[in-house]
Structure 1
Amino acid sequence: MNDHIQYLSRVTKTLADKDDFHGTDCHSCKLGKWIDSSGREDVVAHAPHAEGLFERLVERHEYFHSVSNEVLAKHQVGDTVNCYRAMTEMHKVSGQLVSLLLDIDRKVKVAA
């Protein structure tokens, strides 16, 4: 979760011209690497009933990267209005991601 917060911080700093972050795709960050490697197996092995939550996490994670990259692209071309619209969506999806991660964590702990 800390990496996710740092990702958001880098986007925000870039918008304030205090960083030059270009974003990443959904497979390059730590969460994406976990999803692509052992994520599904980790979740299903400990909480088979959480597989649906994992699927939703994958979808929201992909969308988060799409929207955050849109934020950065709009900023780069000076499209302030659409940059901030996309940023609002990015923060909404970020909250959904955090919620899904916490839900999955709870399901795994209950099953343990």
Structure 2
Amino acid sequence: MEIKKGNDKVTEMLTTLNEDAIKIHGFVSEIIQHIKGLKDTFDEIIEIGNSVDSKARENLYEYIDVWKTLVEGLDTLDIEILKRVIDHAIWMDNVAKSLEGKSDWIPTDHTQCNLGKWYYSKGKMIIDKYGARAVEIFTSIEDAHARLHNLGISAINLQKEGKAEEAFKKAVEMYNSSKEIIDKLFMLYEEIVKHSNK
């Protein structure tokens, strides 16, 4: 009788354990389905993001083409400054594509990009004509521009070495430096326009 009682108890425990295992299996299956649903949703979001990114790039280059057509043949310093802003946007986009693995483009140092070539040649030769403030702004671009190139090169190299987190940090610094350069170029543009209207 004791043995039968013990067997019944073990059978009852095994039945309860089996029922609990079935419930847990159901919960785990449900969680897995939710995770799969989340993964599918994330995949869709990434696909949409890539599509938006691609369309934004396409639009950027369409706008640049229109801009180039509009300013073709115009050779005033204010237009040159705006051209350098466009060159800078293209440079930044090239860095972004490299960081995303969509290009194997490697930036040159700050003296070899279009902004750098203009800065160290024609820009340096004519900026004095636009007053002390224009010279001050112009001069302040140099260090920020060199820093930007160093950060871009460093971010791309880190990404290639598989150091994504460090590359991301450098890229954030680079984007902040980019904003500083754009701000300075627009300040220079405004100063040149103001001086030209005197």
Same fold (TM over 0.5): yes
Residue number in structure 1 paired with 2:148? 64
Over the aligned positions, Cα root-mean-square deviation in angstroms equals 1.1
Whether the 8 Å contact between 1:43 and 1:104 is mirrored in structure 2 is no
Residue number in structure 1 paired with 2:133? 49
Identical-residue share of aligned pairs (%): 22
> Does residue 35 in structure 1 map to residue 119 in structure 2?
yes
Note the residue ranges of structure 1 that are not aligned, 5 or more in a row: none
Residue number in structure 2 paired with 1:24? 108
Residue 48 of structure 1, CA deviation? 2.8
Residue 26 of structure 1, CA deviation? 0.6
Residue 47 of structure 1, CA deviation? 2.8
User: SS of the residue aligned with 1:28?
Assistant: coil
Residue number in structure 2 paired with 1:8? 92
Q: Go from structure 1 to structure 2 and tell me whether the alpha carbon gap of 1:48 and 1:15 turns closer, same or farther (over 3 Å shift).
A: same
Q: How many residues align?
A: 112
User: SS of the residue aligned with 2:156?
Assistant: helix
Note the residue ranges of structure 2 that are not aligned, 5 or more in a row: 1-84
Whether the 8 Å contact between 1:64 and 1:94 is mirrored in structure 2 is yes
- Largest Rg, 1 or 2: 2
User: SS of the residue aligned with 1:78?
Assistant: coil
